[in-house]
Amino acid sequence: MAFRVDITERALADAEDFVEYVRREKGDALGAERWWNGLLDALFSLEQRPGRGTLLPEPPLRTRRLRQILHQSHRIVFEMDEQREIVRVLRIYHASRRELRRRDVSEH
């Protein structure tokens, strides 16, 4: 059975901000569209393979068992609810940014 993929508003805003940056600052509308389409493929691949990826490396977040997969320059940070068969995407975080902190992936 496939898992449902829920994308939080914060994760969606992360992705939209990057697409807008690529469009405006880099002047690459086609590149922004390719990145977005690849992101969607990566996100919805979690429906069939929710346990893939790795646990987050940041020690303060390991207790939550958050996972990540990579999409180009970004980390897709998510949690899995195996009982309810839901993957909740918390952040789409540029890999060159500082390490994630608890407040970066707060539950609310």
Domain residue limits, the chain: 4-96
Q: Looking at residue 107, what is its pLDDT?
A: 62
The mean-pLDDT minimum among 12-21, 59-68, 81-90 falls in 59-68
CATH code for the part of the protein at 4-96: 3.30.2310.20
Tell whether the model's pLDDT for residue 108 goes beyond 60: no
Angle at 29 between CA 28 and CA 32, to 5 degrees: 90
Tell whether the model's pLDDT for residue 17 goes beyond 90: yes
End-to-end CA distance of the chain: 28
Tell whether the model's pLDDT for residue 87 goes beyond 90: yes
Average pLDDT estimate for 17-40: 95
The crossing angle, in degrees rounded to 10, of helices 29-45 and 9-24 is 160
